[in-house]
Each structure stands twice: as structure tokens, then as C-alpha cells.
Amino acid sequence: MSEEITYASAGVDTAAGDQAVELMKEAVSRTFTPQVVGGIGGFAGMVDASALAGMKKPYLTTSTDGVGTKIAIAQALDIHDTIGQDLVGMVVDDIAVVGARPLLMTDYIACGHVQPQRIADIVRGVAEACAAVDTPLLGGETAEHPGMMGADDYDIAGAATGVVEADQMLGADRVRESDVLVGLAASGLHSNGYSLVRRVLEVSKADLHAQVAQFGRTLGEELLEPTRLYSRLCLQIKDEVGVEGLHALSHVTGGGLAANLARVLPLELGAVVDRGSWKVPAVFDWVRTQGNVSWDDLEMTLNLGIGMVAVCAPDSVDAVRECARQAGCESAILGQVESDPTATGRVISEAKGVKGGKVVLTGSYALA
């Protein structure tokens, strides 16, 4: 008689999955707001949406994303409690771009083998970031995929839902000539371009555990620095100056600053960005020099120190920058919106499938 086959012998450890849930429950429960209905473990998460009934014309907004190959750095260092913030930043900050307040978030982890403490660390990072931006982590799934993924492999994705009044939505239709571009500083590389970064690591044979003087910490610690969370600050700016003062937001993710800024400009307008208007942090120059990467390639791949751009009316610039200062986020005036930019420089337009206005990058980058 052949050996008895069980789910466990096929590679799925349901007991480990249950243990992971127990380890993460406390962190997840701390994200719950008074609107959350029920607790952890249900088939579906629920929120009380009664407040939407008082809105004139609510638009539900949604976004989904992952962390990408930054996970490979976390795996190499065996540090898994920071990438959760990267996930929340990538998802919830996209919702904030249209002026929406997040209502809930869910996550999904696929792995080759459930290691309860590691899964709990990942989810704890997600939960702590959700709590920081007032977003309940309302549900999730951890799926074990033996035979499809290596025992130590995993990937993480998330989705969020938010709401905004139709007449309070931010976007290209609000942008006007002479609007000012205020850049909000990034915390580091954030969560895009890590295929380039990992290739540089491979070519340079750099040691992730080595101390780097420019960073004041190890290379690995610098590369794992979590994505800055902007949603609370962006919504605070909107509350402070209204949609009359804040016209659009651009989340600088894959494709770099110019490509993402072009997505929130109307076709008839353009923007001129002075590359020298902010200081590029040392980590970006490390990627450039260690990998012999051109500035042209860097600026179309990495954020270069600006993680969010606020497109605002000229008379709201001081208030926008003061909100950023109070939130502990540095800011810089990058340039302005023009009807027919004549500046000489690199021109980016129609990025990511959006027929938006063109962005002209002028001048040279300045290093921090």
C-alpha cells in the first residue's frame, strides 16, 4: 500500500497558518476604528458606511499594489517588519492623490512555506502603517504555495478603498497656469526601481552589512528604509487650503517624477521642473556611481528625493509648506505650470498611458 498522503505532507501547514494569525491579531486590531464591524477571522471585513449617506455625491476610490523586488533585500537581511509600510505607502498614498480619505485596506501574502513569526512581522509592519494613516486593516490572506514558490520565498500585495466628494476631487481639471509645484521629500528609495538597485548590488558586489559613511548606517538599512507615508499630510493640506488652493497631487512612484507629474496635468498645459531646486540624497548618487547609471536613467526610474508633488495655487504655497514642516517633511519649490513651456531640457509627456501635459526638466541635479 502506498504511503498515506495528507495536506501537511503535500507542503501546507494549517497549524502554522493559525499560529501566524494569533501572532498578528493584536497589531491588526490596533488599526480598527469605531466604524469597523466585527473582528478578526470573519470571511469578510466590514465597516459601517452610514457616514457616506450624508455626502452629496461620494466617489469610491480604489488602489492596489505590491512592494516589488524590494522584498529580495528584506529576505537577504532577514528583516521583514519594514516592507509592510512600503505596501501601505504604495496603496493608500495613491488614494490620497485624488483627495480621498481611506476607508479600509486588505493585504495578501503568498509564500512557499508559512513561517509564523515572519508572516506576523510582515503583517505587523502593514498594521502599524495602517494605524499611522488612520486606515483599518480590515482583512487579509496568507496563502501557502509549496512547489510553486521556494520555502523562504514570499510576495505581498494590498488593496485599499477610500471616498471623496465629487466636487472635492483633486486632479488635472483643477490645474491652472502659474500653479506652483511643491515637492515633498522622500524618505529614501521608497519601493520602486529595486530591479535596477539589485543589479547595481550584483555588479558592484557591495556588502549589505557594510557601514556606509554617507548614510550613517549599513547599506542594507539604507536600502530597506520604508516608504514615507503621505496620505495624512496630503489630506491635512487639502483641509487647510481647500481645493481652491490644492489642485492636484502626484505620487512619485515607478517612472520617476516627470512621468508621474505629467499624469496630473491637463493636455493644454505643461510644467517646468528645475532639477537643482532640491538636494538629491546620497543613496541615489550611490546607485549612480556604483552602477555607472546615467542621470537620464535614474530620473526615469527612481524618485531622486521627491516622493509627492503638490500642484497648488501661488497664494497657497506658504500654507502647503507649513503643513509639511509641521509634519516633519521637508519641501521645496520645484517649478511651476505654464501654458507653453519654452524652457530647454528633457521633455516628458503622455506617460503611463495618460495623455497629459508635458513636463520639462531643466538644469542639473544638486547632491545633498
Residue 16 has pLDDT above 70, yes or no: no
Q: What angle do CA 134, 139, 141 make, to 5 degrees?
A: 135
The residue type at 174: R
All residues at 6 or more sequence positions from 353 whose CB lies less than 8 Å from its CB, including other chains: none
Rounded to the nearest angstrom, the gap between the alpha carbon of residue 58 and the centroid of all alpha carbons in its chain is 24
For residues 99, 243, 226, 61, the Cα torsion angle rounded to the nearest 10 degrees is 10
- pLDDT digit string, tens, across residues 291-303: 999 999 999 999 9
Gyration radius of the chain over CA positions = 22
**Which residues pair with residue 335 across a beta bridge?**
181, 273
- Per-residue model confidence (pLDDT) at position 178: 96
Write down the domain spans for the chain: 6-163, 170-365
- pLDDT digit string, tens, across residues 239-274: 999 999 999 999 999 999 999 999 999 999 999 999
Antiparallel, parallel or unpaired: β 306-312 and 180-185: antiparallel
Q: How far apart are CA 198 and CA 308, in angstroms?
A: 24
Query: Are 6-163 and 170-365 equal in CATH topology?
Result: no
Residue 328: in which H helix or E strand, if any? none
Instruction: Please state at what angle helix 70-77 crosses helix 194-204, rounded to 10 degrees.
Output: 50
Tell me the average pLDDT across 314-334. Answer: 98
CATH class as words, domain 170-365: alpha beta
- pLDDT digit string, tens, across residues 56-77: 999 999 999 999 999 999 999 9
Tell me the average pLDDT across 75-87. Answer: 96
82 — pLDDT class (breaks 50, 70, 90): very high
Per-chain mean pLDDT for the chain = 91
- Joined together, the cell numbers standing for residue 141 give 490572506
38 — pLDDT class (breaks 50, 70, 90): confident
Q: How far apart are CA 210 and CA 282, in angstroms?
A: 16
Query: Do 56 and 166 form a contact (C-beta atoms < 8 A)?
Result: yes
126 — pLDDT class (breaks 50, 70, 90): very high
| CATH placement of domain 6-163 | 3.30.1330.10
Cell numbers 529614501: residue:
188
What is the DSSP code string of 143-209? Answer: EE-BTTB-TT-EEEEEEEEEEEEGGG--SGGG--TT-EEEEEEPSSSTTS-HHHHHHHHHHHT--TT
- Joined together, the cell numbers standing for residue 185 give 521629500
199 — pLDDT class (breaks 50, 70, 90): very high
